[in-house]
Structure 1
Amino acid sequence: MNDNSDNESRLVRAGLVPYIVRWSGERPVRTPVVTKGRSGIGYPNERPGDRDERGVLWSRYVHAPGEGVPEFGGVHPYRQRHAMRHLLCQVCGEPADRDDRGVLWLVGDAGRGWSDEDVTGHPPVCLRCAGTARRACPYLRSRGALALRVRNAPLAGVSGTLYEPRGRSLVCLGPATLAYDDPRVRYLKAAQLMRALRDWTVVDLDRQTT
């Protein structure tokens, strides 16, 4: 067993599966994407919750946390969106840690640092769960975790699958991350909500106290 699998097995045994992680029983709902004229794309029969408050279409997934085995490399669109909107900890789903320097965030690429032009799809964390997030998230494990206290984290856009209308049909262009003010966003089927992290301070996570 490799180190990643061993870490994940320990987390499962300890009951420390992050809130936003997708389980194997939570599969995508196979609903066709159709053109909706000037509104972009949509589903033939849309339901409440299919679009966010900006009108962007979201991926439909079965919601069954705990069913099957956790897939640590993926996130559930609904829980990721909920945690990002309400600044909840990505591990336990409770409010993220906040002090006078801002909300606590862990971002990847510790060696590169962080720029105000960057955006993240990783929700914040609470202090109690910060260590778990570093161990459980494949992205943070592979690139190193940079801890930030953030005072300003506006919603910046969405990440998902982009389509393009061609005649009366749609062509899938693949993954894309778009700002909300990008006109192409109406042709995006979103899977993650993104925030920009601004007015931040780098902190030593090991010196933070609960």
Structure 2
Amino acid sequence: MHPTAPYVVPWKEETLPDLDTMVGSFGVAYTNPLHDTFQRDKDGILWAVCEGTRTGGPAYARELHPHRQREAMERLLCAGCSGPPARDERGMLWVLPLLDDGDDPGWHCVRTVIPPMCEPCKTKATEACPWLRDGHVELRVKEAEKIGVRGTLYPLPGVEDEPDPDALVLFNTPEEGRVIARQLVRELREVTVIAVRRSTP
């Protein structure tokens, strides 16, 4: 494995194929029944198909690998090595890019698709990942509830709108059946800010 490639980062040879879908009163489905069966989770949410191999080097410009991101977020694994994340009395370690909300956006109840990290991977990731090199915050988090998914949300049948390619769909809402998910989302609560690192010009 590439020494600087976090577990959840896709590689250049890993792609999301443009698969045929259909939308009806049931929601969205792949027209290939095998894809439709194997890409649904236990709650019935349809997930994106990712093909290819972990070759060609990390593709930091793309969003996180849908299957590995989901696994790390479901099981609360380190985004870098897929091992246990760092924990102490203040909670689990999260390292996130700075938000574009001014100098102090507040981090309680922030929603993220980035899994937690262990200490060794924190150091590697903040040096290698351009999202974090440009500025990041280190948090300790006591509670991180799964609240929904990000993905492509398809309109209701008969509505002429285009699909929304980057929608946040909360669990237990009618939109669940019309999304092809790519990322699992958690909301961070009981947050302690440990450090804010800003890039220098």
Residue 120 (structure 1) aligned to one of 112, 119, 126: 112
Q: What is the TM-score of this pair, normalised by structure 1?
A: 0.81
Residue 140 (structure 1) aligned to one of 123, 126, 132: 132
1:23 partner amino acid: W
Paired positions, count:
190
Q: What is the TM-score of this pair, normalised by structure 2?
A: 0.84
The residue correspondences of 1:34-183 to structure 2 (distance < 5 A) are 34-38=22-26, 40-44=27-31, 45-47=33-35, 48-62=37-51, 64-65=53-54, 67-74=55-62, 75-109=64-98, 111-142=103-134, 144-167=135-158, 171-183=162-174
Rate the CA distance shift 1:70–1:171 in 2: closer, same or farther, 3 A: same
Alpha-carbon distance in 1 for matches of 2:96, 2:106: 8
In the alignment, is the contact (CA less than 8 A) between 1:35 and 1:170 conserved in 2?
A: no
Structure 1, unaligned runs of 5 or more:
1-11
1:186 Cα shift? 1.7
Identity %: 34
Structure 2, unaligned runs of 5 or more:
none
In the alignment, is the contact (CA less than 8 A) between 1:165 and 1:171 conserved in 2?
A: no
Which sits farther off after the overlay, 164-173 or 95-104? 164-173
CA-based RMSD: 2.3
Alpha-carbon distance in 2 for matches of 1:49, 1:193: 17
1:72 partner amino acid: Y
Rate the CA distance shift 1:56–1:16 in 2: closer, same or farther, 3 A: same
In the alignment, is the contact (CA less than 8 A) between 2:23 and 2:157 conserved in 1?
A: no
Alpha-carbon distance in 1 for matches of 2:193, 2:158: 49
The residue correspondences of 1:12-27 to structure 2 (distance < 5 A) are 15-27=3-15
1:201 partner amino acid: T
2:21 partner amino acid: V
Query: Could you say which structure has the higher helix fraction?
Result: 1
In structure 2, the partner of 1:5 is: none
1:175 Cα shift? 1.5
In the alignment, is the contact (CA less than 8 A) between 1:34 and 1:170 conserved in 2?
A: no
SS state at 1:83 partner: helix
Summarize deviations over 1:85-107 as a string: whole Å, max 9, x none: 11111111111111121110012
